[in-house]
Chain A
Amino acid sequence: MAGKNFLTAYIKPVSSVTTILGAFALGLGLYSMVSIHGRAVAKRRENWGFSAVLLGAILAMAIPAIWKEYDKSPQIAGFYRIMYDGGFNPLNATMFSIVAFYIVSAAYRAFRIRTVEAGILLMSAVIIMIGQVTLGQLLTAWIPNENFSSNFRVENLSNWILTRVNSPAQLAISLGIGVGTLATALRLWLSLERGAFFDEEL
């Protein structure tokens, strides 16, 4: 087991306290959001209707979700289900998925091979993309998957790029990030950090 010391017994209480204090911090973002949109509604600013929708949606989701913990009636559960599975989840998934369309537009208009580096990037991307789909794998499925010839199958080529070229590059990047994070933590601990939160009057 990891080395124990006189402070080990306090890990559990610290864990509980940190969990609860962290939860109290939710109100910071909530206050900002409600105050901005609340002011927009109160002063009838442009598009205040959308702000009212936002505030209404907060209540429409929070109230049934908390209420169903105390009232097990099927009507409350059904209403929550509609808000969650009919509103929150599909909107969440659709917002993420819309980026795919923008990628298509960018692929046609913006991805240009103007330099050697861009050429290498796109060549690597194309090999990875072909290697990770079944239609692409079919292109080289006729090559025997043994001995030297297997290196020319597109999925093996894609795997070679990921494990032999991408992996060491990512390792080097993450080592640099790790050292930087450690240095920042040390500066924080030794009160060497400067910036908006540390030495300016609030």
Chain B
Amino acid sequence: MFDFLSNDATVRVIYIWCAALCTLGIYSILYKENKVYRFLEHLFLGLATGYTISQTWTTILKPQWWEPMTNDGQWWWALALPAGLLFYMVFFPRHAWMSRLIFGFFFGAAAGRTFQAFAATYFPLVKSAVNIPLMNPPEASMPGAYWLTGTSAILNNLLFLAIVISVMVYFFFSFEQRHPAIRMTSRFGRYTLMFAFGAIFGSTIMARMSLLIGRMFFLIHDWFQVTVLGMKG
């Protein structure tokens, strides 16, 4: 009865039609709220949860815990089960203290890693921020340089320093910013932050449009042109 599922071409047609119907069903919310969208929304949540469960078993627990424990004789992995079940003690008020043991382990590990993480991430960043030439920039002697290259490189570097300092001054909330010089610096920092947020906004638009283009390409090309009309892919 289910032999059609072993035919690759048939399965492909089925899943493309399912994908198209799911896509159009989700887009129906743009017209107005409806039950089809709610159905697909709950379907998606269920499928995502089911996928996570299956992947947790097949990619982590089965190869790294179950098989070493049952096939390779590493019996000590059996102790991981009561340790892992400690998480679930949080649902029992009388025994909830046991969950703190394992949560504390993960919190402490994360806190410990932060020190190495901080040094590895921020030391090169700070070094690059202060190690900028304000005289004889290397750009002036690179191929393609012209008479203004050196000056513009120095101005850009000065601007870089000014922006870093002014944005950090803007975020100093530990004391009241009363002095006019500090207030001016802070305001300059705020304006340059607006440039940064504008850059993020412009990039976000491109990201979201790209995702929509992907879906529309599927609907128009993969589903309608190739599957429905039978055009060449």
Contact = CB atoms under 8 A, between A and B. Distances in A.
B228 interface: no
B226 to A, nearest CB: 15
B74 to A, nearest CB: 10
A95 to B, nearest CB: 7
Contacts of A197: 100, 103
Interface string B30-65: 100000001111111111111111111110111011
B191 A116 contact: yes
Nearest to B96: A202
A21 B102 contact: yes
Given A172-B171, A189-B111, A53 B196 contact: no
Interface string A50-94: 110111111111110110010001111111011111111111111
B199 A82 contact: no
A137 interface: no
Nearest to A148: B148
Interface of A: 16-28, 30-31, 33, 47, 50-51, 53-63, 65-66, 69, 73-79, 81-101, 103, 116-118, 120-129, 132-133, 146-148, 161-162, 164-176, 178, 181-182, 185-186, 188-189, 197, 202
B70 interface: no
Contacts of B51: 61-62, 65, 84, 88
B75 interface: no
Given A23-B61, A166-B195, A86 B87 contact: no
Nearest to A35: B91
Interface of B: 2-8, 11, 14-20, 22-23, 26-27, 29-30, 38-58, 60-62, 64-65, 77, 80-81, 83-85, 87-88, 90-91, 93, 96-97, 99-100, 102-103, 105-112, 114-115, 118, 121-122, 125-126, 129, 144, 146, 148, 156, 159-161, 163-165, 167-168, 171, 189-206, 208-209, 211-212, 214-215, 218
A54 B80 CA distance: 30
B5 A60 contact: no
- Chain A interface mostly: helix
Contacts of A55: 46
B167 A169 contact: yes
24 contacts: A16-B64, A24-B81, A33-B49, A50-B41, A57-B43, A57-B50, A61-B51, A82-B18, A83-B47, A86-B15, A90-B18, A124-B201, A128-B198, A146-B146, A148-B148, A166-B200, A169-B189, A169-B196, A171-B129, A172-B167, A172-B168, A173-B196, A178-B118, A181-B118
Contact of A95 (B26, B55, B80): B26
Contacts of B107: 188
